[in-house]
Structure 1
Protein backbone atom coordinates (compact mmCIF):
# COMPACT_ATOMS: atom_id res chain seq x y z
CA UNK A 1 0.00 0.00 0.00
CA UNK A 2 2.87 2.35 0.76
CA UNK A 3 4.39 1.83 -2.69
CA UNK A 4 1.17 2.56 -4.57
CA UNK A 5 0.59 5.67 -2.43
CA UNK A 6 4.10 6.93 -3.10
CA UNK A 7 3.93 6.13 -6.82
CA UNK A 8 0.52 7.72 -7.31
CA UNK A 9 1.49 10.86 -5.38
CA UNK A 10 4.73 11.32 -7.36
CA UNK A 11 2.97 10.67 -10.67
CA UNK A 12 0.09 13.01 -9.88
CA UNK A 13 2.27 15.78 -8.51
CA UNK A 14 4.40 15.72 -11.65
CA UNK A 15 1.65 18.05 -12.88
CA UNK A 16 2.73 20.56 -10.26
CA UNK A 17 6.39 20.00 -11.06
CA UNK A 18 5.67 20.79 -14.69
CA UNK A 19 3.84 23.95 -13.63
CA UNK A 20 6.76 25.27 -11.54
CA UNK A 21 8.27 27.39 -14.36
CA UNK A 22 5.11 29.49 -14.42
CA UNK A 23 6.31 31.13 -11.20
CA UNK A 24 9.16 32.80 -13.08
CA UNK A 25 8.11 32.83 -16.74
CA UNK A 26 5.14 33.73 -18.90
CA UNK A 27 5.70 31.65 -22.00
CA UNK A 28 7.21 28.29 -22.94
CA UNK A 29 8.69 27.64 -26.37
CA UNK A 30 6.55 25.46 -28.61
CA UNK A 31 9.54 23.38 -29.63
CA UNK A 32 10.49 22.15 -26.17
CA UNK A 33 6.89 21.59 -25.19
CA UNK A 34 6.35 19.49 -28.32
CA UNK A 35 9.54 17.53 -27.71
CA UNK A 36 8.46 16.73 -24.15
CA UNK A 37 4.95 15.73 -25.24
CA UNK A 38 6.36 13.41 -27.93
CA UNK A 39 8.85 11.90 -25.48
CA UNK A 40 5.99 11.17 -23.06
CA UNK A 41 4.02 9.63 -25.94
CA UNK A 42 6.90 7.26 -26.71
CA UNK A 43 7.16 6.31 -23.04
CA UNK A 44 3.42 5.57 -22.82
CA UNK A 45 3.32 3.52 -26.04
CA UNK A 46 6.19 1.35 -24.82
CA UNK A 47 4.61 0.97 -21.38
CA UNK A 48 1.32 -0.13 -22.93
CA UNK A 49 2.64 -2.50 -25.59
CA UNK A 50 5.61 -4.01 -23.75
CA UNK A 51 4.30 -4.09 -20.14
CA UNK A 52 0.55 -3.71 -19.71
CA UNK A 53 -0.63 -5.78 -22.70
CA UNK A 54 1.82 -8.71 -22.21
CA UNK A 55 0.92 -8.83 -18.50
CA UNK A 56 -2.79 -8.90 -19.29
CA UNK A 57 -2.29 -11.68 -21.87
CA UNK A 58 -0.24 -13.76 -19.44
CA UNK A 59 -2.95 -13.51 -16.80
CA UNK A 60 -5.96 -14.09 -19.07
CA UNK A 61 -6.34 -14.20 -22.85
CA UNK A 62 -7.15 -12.27 -25.98
CA UNK A 63 -10.84 -11.97 -25.07
CA UNK A 64 -10.18 -10.23 -21.77
CA UNK A 65 -7.50 -8.06 -23.39
CA UNK A 66 -9.88 -6.97 -26.14
CA UNK A 67 -12.67 -6.21 -23.67
CA UNK A 68 -10.38 -4.21 -21.40
CA UNK A 69 -8.80 -2.17 -24.20
CA UNK A 70 -12.24 -1.49 -25.67
CA UNK A 71 -13.54 -0.33 -22.28
CA UNK A 72 -10.55 1.96 -21.74
CA UNK A 73 -10.90 3.42 -25.20
CA UNK A 74 -14.65 3.92 -24.89
CA UNK A 75 -14.25 5.58 -21.49
CA UNK A 76 -11.83 8.15 -22.91
CA UNK A 77 -14.02 8.52 -26.00
CA UNK A 78 -16.99 9.26 -23.73
CA UNK A 79 -15.01 11.90 -21.84
CA UNK A 80 -13.80 13.37 -25.12
CA UNK A 81 -17.34 13.50 -26.46
CA UNK A 82 -19.05 15.06 -23.46
CA UNK A 83 -16.15 16.82 -21.72
CA UNK A 84 -13.89 18.00 -24.58
CA UNK A 85 -10.15 18.07 -23.89
CA UNK A 86 -9.44 21.61 -25.03
CA UNK A 87 -6.14 22.66 -26.58
CA UNK A 88 -5.16 25.34 -24.13
CA UNK A 89 -2.20 26.50 -26.13
CA UNK A 90 -4.15 27.18 -29.30
CA UNK A 91 -7.69 27.88 -28.14
CA UNK A 92 -8.77 31.49 -28.56
CA UNK A 93 -12.33 30.91 -27.42
CA UNK A 94 -11.94 31.60 -23.73
CA UNK A 95 -10.53 34.95 -22.75
CA UNK A 96 -11.56 35.41 -19.14
CA UNK A 97 -11.58 33.67 -15.78
CA UNK A 98 -15.25 32.81 -15.72
CA UNK A 99 -17.49 29.75 -15.83
CA UNK A 100 -16.02 28.71 -19.18
CA UNK A 101 -12.46 28.83 -17.83
CA UNK A 102 -13.59 26.71 -14.92
CA UNK A 103 -15.02 24.25 -17.46
CA UNK A 104 -11.56 23.92 -19.03
CA UNK A 105 -10.03 23.08 -15.66
CA UNK A 106 -12.83 20.60 -14.91
CA UNK A 107 -12.34 18.92 -18.29
CA UNK A 108 -8.62 18.43 -17.72
CA UNK A 109 -9.28 17.13 -14.22
CA UNK A 110 -11.76 14.53 -15.49
CA UNK A 111 -9.33 13.41 -18.18
CA UNK A 112 -6.73 12.75 -15.48
CA UNK A 113 -8.91 10.24 -13.62
CA UNK A 114 -8.28 7.23 -15.91
CA UNK A 115 -4.55 7.92 -15.75
CA UNK A 116 -4.62 7.52 -11.97
CA UNK A 117 -6.57 4.30 -12.41
CA UNK A 118 -3.84 2.96 -14.69
CA UNK A 119 -1.22 3.58 -12.01
CA UNK A 120 -3.25 1.92 -9.26
CA UNK A 121 -4.09 -1.19 -11.27
CA UNK A 122 -0.45 -1.62 -12.26
CA UNK A 123 0.59 -1.72 -8.62
CA UNK A 124 -1.97 -4.47 -7.95
CA UNK A 125 -0.13 -7.00 -10.13
CA UNK A 126 2.43 -9.52 -8.89
CA UNK A 127 5.11 -7.70 -10.89
CA UNK A 128 6.48 -5.28 -8.32
CA UNK A 129 8.22 -3.12 -10.92
CA UNK A 130 5.23 -2.55 -13.22
CA UNK A 131 3.55 0.03 -11.00
CA UNK A 132 6.66 2.18 -10.84
CA UNK A 133 7.15 2.06 -14.60
CA UNK A 134 3.55 3.08 -15.31
CA UNK A 135 3.66 5.83 -12.66
CA UNK A 136 6.83 7.13 -14.34
CA UNK A 137 5.22 7.17 -17.79
CA UNK A 138 2.05 8.90 -16.58
CA UNK A 139 4.13 11.42 -14.62
CA UNK A 140 6.06 12.38 -17.75
CA UNK A 141 2.80 13.03 -19.55
CA UNK A 142 1.45 15.09 -16.65
CA UNK A 143 4.38 17.54 -16.53
CA UNK A 144 3.79 19.44 -19.81
CA UNK A 145 0.04 19.42 -19.19
CA UNK A 146 0.58 21.10 -15.83
CA UNK A 147 2.69 23.79 -17.48
CA UNK A 148 0.07 24.48 -20.14
CA UNK A 149 -2.73 24.77 -17.58
CA UNK A 150 -0.69 27.14 -15.42
CA UNK A 151 0.35 29.29 -18.40
CA UNK A 152 -3.26 29.49 -19.55
CA UNK A 153 -4.37 30.76 -16.15
CA UNK A 154 -1.50 33.28 -15.91
CA UNK A 155 -2.36 34.59 -19.37
CA UNK A 156 -5.89 35.13 -18.07
CA UNK A 157 -4.43 37.51 -15.43
CA UNK A 158 -4.53 35.02 -12.56
CA UNK A 159 -1.97 35.29 -9.77
CA UNK A 160 1.03 33.04 -10.54
CA UNK A 161 0.95 31.17 -7.24
CA UNK A 162 -2.77 30.55 -7.55
CA UNK A 163 -2.33 29.33 -11.14
CA UNK A 164 0.41 26.95 -9.98
CA UNK A 165 -1.80 25.62 -7.19
CA UNK A 166 -4.80 25.01 -9.48
CA UNK A 167 -2.62 23.27 -12.09
CA UNK A 168 -1.22 21.01 -9.37
CA UNK A 169 -4.70 20.13 -8.14
CA UNK A 170 -5.85 19.04 -11.62
CA UNK A 171 -3.27 16.26 -11.39
CA UNK A 172 -3.72 15.51 -7.69
CA UNK A 173 -7.12 13.95 -8.36
CA UNK A 174 -5.25 11.00 -9.89
CA UNK A 175 -4.27 9.91 -6.38
CA UNK A 176 -7.91 9.11 -5.58
CA UNK A 177 -8.54 6.92 -8.63
CA UNK A 178 -5.11 5.33 -8.26
CA UNK A 179 -5.85 4.16 -4.73
CA UNK A 180 -9.36 3.11 -5.76
CA UNK A 181 -8.09 1.05 -8.68
CA UNK A 182 -5.44 -0.56 -6.51
CA UNK A 183 -7.84 -1.58 -3.74
CA UNK A 184 -10.50 -2.88 -6.14
CA UNK A 185 -8.13 -5.06 -8.17
CA UNK A 186 -6.24 -6.20 -5.06
CA UNK A 187 -9.37 -7.68 -3.52
CA UNK A 188 -10.89 -8.95 -6.76
CA UNK A 189 -7.94 -10.61 -8.50
CA UNK A 190 -9.93 -11.54 -11.61
CA UNK A 191 -10.22 -7.84 -12.37
CA UNK A 192 -6.47 -7.31 -12.66
CA UNK A 193 -6.11 -8.31 -16.36
CA UNK A 194 -9.19 -6.22 -17.19
CA UNK A 195 -7.65 -3.29 -15.33
CA UNK A 196 -4.32 -3.66 -17.11
CA UNK A 197 -6.06 -3.83 -20.49
CA UNK A 198 -8.23 -0.85 -19.57
CA UNK A 199 -5.11 1.12 -18.66
CA UNK A 200 -3.45 0.16 -21.97
CA UNK A 201 -6.49 1.26 -23.97
CA UNK A 202 -6.74 4.56 -22.10
CA UNK A 203 -3.03 5.32 -22.49
CA UNK A 204 -2.99 4.50 -26.21
CA UNK A 205 -6.05 6.70 -26.72
CA UNK A 206 -4.31 9.60 -24.96
CA UNK A 207 -1.19 9.12 -27.07
CA UNK A 208 -2.92 9.00 -30.45
CA UNK A 209 -5.70 11.50 -29.76
CA UNK A 210 -3.84 14.05 -27.63
CA UNK A 211 -0.07 13.82 -27.39
CA UNK A 212 0.96 13.08 -30.98
CA UNK A 213 -1.35 15.67 -32.62
CA UNK A 214 -0.34 18.34 -30.08
CA UNK A 215 3.37 17.62 -30.55
CA UNK A 216 3.03 18.01 -34.34
CA UNK A 217 0.86 21.13 -34.32
CA UNK A 218 3.52 23.86 -34.37
CA UNK A 219 5.88 22.82 -37.15
CA UNK A 220 8.25 20.71 -35.07
CA UNK A 221 7.22 17.32 -36.43
CA UNK A 222 10.77 16.07 -37.05
CA UNK A 223 12.02 16.95 -33.58
CA UNK A 224 8.88 15.50 -32.04
CA UNK A 225 9.22 12.27 -34.03
CA UNK A 226 12.82 11.79 -32.90
CA UNK A 227 11.76 12.52 -29.33
CA UNK A 228 8.94 9.97 -29.60
CA UNK A 229 11.33 7.24 -30.74
CA UNK A 230 13.78 8.19 -27.99
CA UNK A 231 11.04 7.93 -25.38
CA UNK A 232 10.00 4.55 -26.77
CA UNK A 233 13.55 3.19 -26.54
CA UNK A 234 14.13 4.64 -23.08
CA UNK A 235 11.02 2.92 -21.73
CA UNK A 236 11.91 -0.40 -23.39
CA UNK A 237 15.33 -0.15 -21.78
CA UNK A 238 13.77 0.52 -18.38
CA UNK A 239 11.40 -2.42 -18.82
CA UNK A 240 14.32 -4.70 -19.64
CA UNK A 241 16.29 -3.49 -16.62
CA UNK A 242 13.50 -3.34 -14.03
CA UNK A 243 10.73 -5.42 -15.62
Structure 2
Protein backbone atom coordinates (compact mmCIF):
# COMPACT_ATOMS: atom_id res chain seq x y z
CA UNK A 1 0.00 0.00 0.00
CA UNK A 2 2.84 2.42 0.81
CA UNK A 3 4.30 1.80 -2.64
CA UNK A 4 0.93 2.54 -4.22
CA UNK A 5 0.56 5.77 -2.22
CA UNK A 6 3.98 6.94 -3.41
CA UNK A 7 3.04 6.81 -7.10
CA UNK A 8 1.79 9.73 -9.17
CA UNK A 9 -2.00 10.23 -9.14
CA UNK A 10 -2.22 9.41 -12.86
CA UNK A 11 -0.46 6.07 -12.27
CA UNK A 12 -2.65 5.44 -9.24
CA UNK A 13 -5.73 6.11 -11.37
CA UNK A 14 -4.43 3.77 -14.07
CA UNK A 15 -3.83 0.94 -11.60
CA UNK A 16 -7.21 1.50 -9.96
CA UNK A 17 -8.85 1.47 -13.40
CA UNK A 18 -7.05 -1.76 -14.27
CA UNK A 19 -8.35 -3.23 -11.01
CA UNK A 20 -11.97 -2.31 -11.79
CA UNK A 21 -11.57 -3.72 -15.31
CA UNK A 22 -10.10 -6.96 -13.93
CA UNK A 23 -13.17 -7.44 -11.71
CA UNK A 24 -15.35 -6.96 -14.80
CA UNK A 25 -13.34 -9.75 -16.43
CA UNK A 26 -13.85 -11.96 -13.36
CA UNK A 27 -17.59 -11.43 -13.60
CA UNK A 28 -17.56 -12.23 -17.29
CA UNK A 29 -15.55 -15.40 -16.54
CA UNK A 30 -18.56 -16.93 -14.78
CA UNK A 31 -19.65 -17.92 -18.26
CA UNK A 32 -16.99 -20.68 -18.07
CA UNK A 33 -18.07 -22.10 -14.70
CA UNK A 34 -21.85 -21.67 -14.69
CA UNK A 35 -24.06 -23.52 -17.14
CA UNK A 36 -26.51 -20.66 -16.89
CA UNK A 37 -27.52 -17.94 -14.44
CA UNK A 38 -31.18 -17.25 -13.85
CA UNK A 39 -32.69 -13.94 -14.87
CA UNK A 40 -33.72 -13.46 -11.24
CA UNK A 41 -30.09 -13.64 -10.11
CA UNK A 42 -28.95 -11.28 -12.87
CA UNK A 43 -31.65 -8.77 -11.90
CA UNK A 44 -30.53 -8.82 -8.25
CA UNK A 45 -26.92 -8.37 -9.37
CA UNK A 46 -27.85 -5.41 -11.57
CA UNK A 47 -29.83 -3.86 -8.71
CA UNK A 48 -26.79 -4.30 -6.47
CA UNK A 49 -24.61 -2.53 -9.04
CA UNK A 50 -27.10 0.33 -9.21
CA UNK A 51 -27.09 0.71 -5.43
CA UNK A 52 -23.30 0.92 -5.34
CA UNK A 53 -23.31 3.57 -8.06
CA UNK A 54 -25.94 5.69 -6.28
CA UNK A 55 -24.05 5.63 -2.96
CA UNK A 56 -20.72 6.35 -4.65
CA UNK A 57 -22.27 9.32 -6.45
CA UNK A 58 -23.10 10.98 -3.16
CA UNK A 59 -20.47 9.99 -0.60
CA UNK A 60 -17.47 9.83 -2.91
CA UNK A 61 -18.33 12.57 -5.39
CA UNK A 62 -21.13 15.04 -4.58
CA UNK A 63 -20.44 15.49 -0.86
CA UNK A 64 -16.72 16.26 -1.42
CA UNK A 65 -17.64 18.60 -4.29
CA UNK A 66 -19.91 20.61 -2.00
CA UNK A 67 -17.33 20.63 0.80
CA UNK A 68 -14.63 21.88 -1.57
CA UNK A 69 -16.86 24.83 -2.43
CA UNK A 70 -17.61 25.79 1.18
CA UNK A 71 -15.87 29.15 0.71
CA UNK A 72 -18.80 30.17 -1.49
CA UNK A 73 -21.06 30.23 1.56
CA UNK A 74 -24.74 29.79 0.71
CA UNK A 75 -23.74 29.28 -2.93
CA UNK A 76 -21.52 26.28 -2.18
CA UNK A 77 -24.01 24.05 -3.97
CA UNK A 78 -23.44 25.74 -7.36
CA UNK A 79 -20.34 23.81 -8.58
CA UNK A 80 -21.91 20.50 -7.56
CA UNK A 81 -25.24 21.37 -9.17
CA UNK A 82 -23.69 22.60 -12.41
CA UNK A 83 -21.30 19.66 -12.67
CA UNK A 84 -24.06 17.16 -11.86
CA UNK A 85 -26.37 18.47 -14.58
CA UNK A 86 -23.54 18.65 -17.12
CA UNK A 87 -22.59 15.03 -16.41
CA UNK A 88 -26.14 13.89 -17.07
CA UNK A 89 -26.36 15.99 -20.25
CA UNK A 90 -23.07 14.53 -21.49
CA UNK A 91 -24.31 10.95 -21.02
CA UNK A 92 -27.62 11.86 -22.66
CA UNK A 93 -25.79 13.13 -25.74
CA UNK A 94 -23.62 10.01 -25.86
CA UNK A 95 -26.76 7.92 -25.43
CA UNK A 96 -28.41 9.70 -28.36
CA UNK A 97 -25.60 9.22 -30.84
CA UNK A 98 -23.58 6.12 -29.86
CA UNK A 99 -25.17 2.95 -31.27
CA UNK A 100 -26.10 0.54 -28.45
CA UNK A 101 -28.70 -1.96 -27.33
CA UNK A 102 -29.95 -2.58 -23.81
CA UNK A 103 -29.88 -6.11 -22.40
CA UNK A 104 -32.82 -8.32 -23.46
CA UNK A 105 -34.11 -5.68 -25.88
CA UNK A 106 -34.90 -6.65 -29.50
CA UNK A 107 -32.77 -5.25 -32.30
CA UNK A 108 -35.64 -2.98 -33.29
CA UNK A 109 -35.05 -1.03 -30.05
CA UNK A 110 -31.38 -0.26 -30.73
CA UNK A 111 -30.56 3.35 -29.82
CA UNK A 112 -28.19 5.91 -31.28
CA UNK A 113 -27.42 6.48 -34.93
CA UNK A 114 -28.35 3.72 -37.36
CA UNK A 115 -25.60 1.17 -37.89
CA UNK A 116 -24.92 -2.29 -39.25
CA UNK A 117 -23.22 -3.40 -36.04
CA UNK A 118 -24.11 -6.86 -34.75
CA UNK A 119 -26.27 -7.37 -31.68
CA UNK A 120 -23.31 -8.49 -29.56
CA UNK A 121 -21.37 -5.32 -30.37
CA UNK A 122 -24.37 -3.14 -29.54
CA UNK A 123 -24.82 -4.90 -26.18
CA UNK A 124 -21.17 -4.39 -25.23
CA UNK A 125 -21.40 -0.73 -26.26
CA UNK A 126 -24.36 -0.26 -23.90
CA UNK A 127 -22.43 -1.63 -20.90
CA UNK A 128 -19.38 0.40 -21.93
CA UNK A 129 -21.53 3.52 -21.46
CA UNK A 130 -21.80 2.53 -17.76
CA UNK A 131 -18.08 2.33 -17.39
CA UNK A 132 -17.15 5.76 -18.77
CA UNK A 133 -18.46 7.70 -15.74
CA UNK A 134 -17.21 5.01 -13.37
CA UNK A 135 -13.67 5.32 -14.73
CA UNK A 136 -13.87 9.11 -14.62
CA UNK A 137 -15.03 8.98 -11.01
CA UNK A 138 -12.06 6.87 -9.95
CA UNK A 139 -9.57 9.07 -11.80
CA UNK A 140 -11.01 12.31 -10.46
CA UNK A 141 -10.96 10.91 -6.91
CA UNK A 142 -7.22 10.17 -7.06
CA UNK A 143 -6.58 13.52 -8.74
CA UNK A 144 -8.42 15.24 -5.88
CA UNK A 145 -6.13 13.58 -3.35
CA UNK A 146 -3.08 14.89 -5.20
CA UNK A 147 -4.56 18.38 -5.10
CA UNK A 148 -4.20 18.29 -1.31
CA UNK A 149 -7.83 19.03 -0.47
CA UNK A 150 -8.95 18.10 3.04
CA UNK A 151 -12.21 16.57 1.84
CA UNK A 152 -10.40 14.22 -0.55
CA UNK A 153 -8.53 11.35 1.11
CA UNK A 154 -6.47 8.52 -0.31
CA UNK A 155 -8.54 5.99 1.64
CA UNK A 156 -11.70 7.50 0.18
CA UNK A 157 -10.35 7.15 -3.36
CA UNK A 158 -9.41 3.53 -2.66
CA UNK A 159 -12.87 2.89 -1.22
CA UNK A 160 -14.43 4.29 -4.38
CA UNK A 161 -12.25 2.08 -6.58
CA UNK A 162 -13.17 -0.94 -4.46
CA UNK A 163 -16.88 -0.15 -4.68
CA UNK A 164 -16.78 0.37 -8.44
CA UNK A 165 -14.80 -2.84 -8.81
CA UNK A 166 -17.30 -4.83 -6.75
CA UNK A 167 -20.26 -3.65 -8.79
CA UNK A 168 -18.37 -4.36 -12.03
CA UNK A 169 -18.49 -8.08 -11.22
CA UNK A 170 -22.24 -8.39 -11.87
CA UNK A 171 -21.95 -6.08 -14.88
CA UNK A 172 -19.41 -8.39 -16.51
CA UNK A 173 -21.69 -11.35 -15.81
CA UNK A 174 -24.71 -9.46 -17.14
CA UNK A 175 -22.98 -9.17 -20.52
CA UNK A 176 -21.32 -12.56 -20.95
CA UNK A 177 -24.13 -14.81 -19.73
CA UNK A 178 -26.89 -13.40 -22.00
CA UNK A 179 -24.49 -13.57 -24.97
CA UNK A 180 -23.81 -17.22 -24.17
CA UNK A 181 -27.56 -17.82 -23.86
CA UNK A 182 -27.98 -16.42 -27.37
CA UNK A 183 -25.63 -19.07 -28.76
CA UNK A 184 -22.24 -17.40 -28.62
CA UNK A 185 -19.28 -19.57 -27.57
CA UNK A 186 -18.11 -19.27 -23.95
CA UNK A 187 -14.76 -17.81 -24.99
CA UNK A 188 -16.29 -15.20 -27.25
CA UNK A 189 -18.94 -14.30 -24.67
CA UNK A 190 -16.18 -13.81 -22.07
CA UNK A 191 -14.12 -11.64 -24.43
CA UNK A 192 -17.10 -9.41 -25.14
CA UNK A 193 -17.99 -9.22 -21.44
CA UNK A 194 -14.54 -8.15 -20.27
CA UNK A 195 -14.16 -5.75 -23.18
CA UNK A 196 -16.96 -3.62 -21.76
CA UNK A 197 -14.65 -2.64 -18.88
CA UNK A 198 -11.59 -1.73 -20.92
CA UNK A 199 -12.70 1.90 -21.10
CA UNK A 200 -12.37 2.33 -17.32
CA UNK A 201 -8.54 2.56 -17.09
CA UNK A 202 -8.59 5.04 -19.99
CA UNK A 203 -11.31 7.18 -18.42
CA UNK A 204 -9.56 7.02 -15.03
CA UNK A 205 -6.30 8.35 -16.47
CA UNK A 206 -8.12 11.13 -18.33
CA UNK A 207 -10.02 12.10 -15.18
CA UNK A 208 -6.90 12.29 -13.00
CA UNK A 209 -4.91 14.19 -15.63
CA UNK A 210 -7.70 16.71 -16.20
CA UNK A 211 -7.96 17.48 -12.49
CA UNK A 212 -4.21 18.00 -12.16
CA UNK A 213 -4.16 20.38 -15.12
CA UNK A 214 -7.18 22.44 -14.07
CA UNK A 215 -7.52 22.09 -10.29
CA UNK A 216 -10.21 24.82 -9.88
CA UNK A 217 -12.55 22.58 -11.88
CA UNK A 218 -12.24 19.74 -9.37
CA UNK A 219 -15.65 20.14 -7.65
CA UNK A 220 -17.28 20.39 -11.08
CA UNK A 221 -15.43 17.27 -12.23
CA UNK A 222 -16.49 15.27 -9.18
CA UNK A 223 -20.12 16.29 -9.64
CA UNK A 224 -19.88 15.65 -13.41
CA UNK A 225 -18.95 12.03 -12.75
CA UNK A 226 -21.79 11.73 -10.24
CA UNK A 227 -24.35 13.11 -12.69
CA UNK A 228 -23.17 10.74 -15.40
CA UNK A 229 -23.42 7.75 -13.07
CA UNK A 230 -26.89 8.66 -11.81
CA UNK A 231 -28.05 9.05 -15.42
CA UNK A 232 -26.86 5.52 -16.20
CA UNK A 233 -28.50 4.08 -13.07
CA UNK A 234 -31.89 5.70 -13.68
CA UNK A 235 -31.92 5.35 -17.47
CA UNK A 236 -30.73 1.76 -17.73
CA UNK A 237 -29.48 -0.21 -14.73
CA UNK A 238 -32.56 -0.05 -12.49
CA UNK A 239 -35.15 -0.26 -15.32
CA UNK A 240 -33.37 -3.35 -16.68
CA UNK A 241 -33.30 -4.98 -13.24
CA UNK A 242 -37.06 -4.38 -12.89
CA UNK A 243 -38.10 -5.53 -16.37
CA UNK A 244 -38.59 -9.26 -15.79
CA UNK A 245 -40.94 -9.39 -12.82
CA UNK A 246 -38.23 -9.52 -10.16
CA UNK A 247 -38.72 -5.97 -8.97
CA UNK A 248 -38.79 -6.63 -5.22
CA UNK A 249 -35.63 -8.74 -5.26
CA UNK A 250 -33.86 -6.27 -7.54
CA UNK A 251 -34.83 -3.44 -5.18
CA UNK A 252 -33.29 -5.32 -2.26
CA UNK A 253 -30.18 -5.66 -4.41
CA UNK A 254 -30.13 -1.86 -4.71
CA UNK A 255 -30.45 -1.51 -0.93
CA UNK A 256 -27.59 -3.93 -0.21
CA UNK A 257 -25.37 -2.34 -2.87
CA UNK A 258 -26.03 1.14 -1.50
CA UNK A 259 -25.33 -0.02 2.07
CA UNK A 260 -22.06 -1.69 1.10
CA UNK A 261 -20.73 1.36 -0.76
CA UNK A 262 -21.83 3.69 2.04
CA UNK A 263 -20.05 1.47 4.56
CA UNK A 264 -16.87 1.31 2.50
CA UNK A 265 -16.74 5.06 2.01
CA UNK A 266 -17.51 6.02 5.61
CA UNK A 267 -15.29 3.32 7.14
CA UNK A 268 -12.29 3.87 4.87
CA UNK A 269 -12.75 7.50 3.84
Instruction: Report the Cα distance in structure 1 between the residues aligned to 2:163 and 2:86, rounded to whole angstroms.
Output: 21
Instruction: Report the Cα distance in structure 1 between the residues aligned to 2:179 and 2:96, rounded to whole angstroms.
Output: 24
Instruction: Report the Cα distance in structure 1 between the residues aligned to 2:224 and 2:128, rounded to whole angstroms.
Output: 19
Asked if residue 99 in structure 1 is aligned to residue 117 in structure 2, the reply is yes
Question: What's the counterpart of residue 109 of structure 1?
Answer: 128
Instruction: Report the Cα distance in structure 1 between the residues aligned to 2:232 and 2:13, rounded to whole angstroms.
Output: 22
Q: CA offset at residue 165 of structure 1?
A: 1.8
Question: What's the counterpart of residue 88 of structure 2?
Answer: 73
Could you tell me which runs of 5 or more consecutive residues in structure 2 were left unpaired when the two chains were aligned. 1-7, 70-75, 109-115, 146-152
Q: CA offset at residue 54 of structure 1?
A: 1.1
**SS of alignment partner, residue 6 of structure 1:** helix
- Greater CA drift, 143-152 or 40-49: 143-152
Instruction: Report the Cα distance in structure 1 between the residues aligned to 2:166 and 2:239, rounded to whole angstroms.
Output: 17
Q: 76, 101, 107: which one pairs with 1:86? A: 101
Could you tell me which runs of 5 or more consecutive residues in structure 1 were left unpaired when the two chains were aligned. none
Q: CA offset at residue 111 of structure 1?
A: 4.5
Q: CA offset at residue 113 of structure 1?
A: 2.2
Q: CA offset at residue 161 of structure 1?
A: 1.5
The change in CA–CA distance for 1:156 and 1:40 in structure 2 (over 3 A counts) is closer
Asked if residue 131 in structure 1 is aligned to residue 138 in structure 2, the reply is no
Asked if residue 234 in structure 1 is aligned to residue 252 in structure 2, the reply is no
Contact 1:85 1:111 in 2 (8 A): no
Instruction: Report the Cα distance in structure 2 between the residues aligned to 1:241 and 1:108, rounded to whole angstroms.
Output: 29
Asked if residue 144 in structure 1 is aligned to residue 156 in structure 2, the reply is no
Q: CA offset at residue 156 of structure 1?
A: 4.5
Question: What's the counterpart of residue 194 of structure 1?
Answer: 220
The change in CA–CA distance for 1:155 and 1:235 in structure 2 (over 3 A counts) is closer
Asked if residue 209 in structure 1 is aligned to residue 235 in structure 2, the reply is yes
What is the root-mean-square deviation of aligned Cα atoms in Å?
Answer: 2.1
Give the 4+ runs in structure 1 shifted more than 4 A: none
Q: 187, 206, 209: which one pairs with 1:180? A: 206
The change in CA–CA distance for 1:157 and 1:225 in structure 2 (over 3 A counts) is closer
Instruction: Give the number of aligned pairs.
Output: 239
Question: What's the counterpart of residue 51 of structure 2?
Answer: 42
- Greater CA drift, 132-141 or 53-62: 132-141
Q: CA offset at residue 87 of structure 1?
A: 2.2
**SS of alignment partner, residue 27 of structure 1:** coil
The change in CA–CA distance for 1:34 and 1:156 in structure 2 (over 3 A counts) is closer
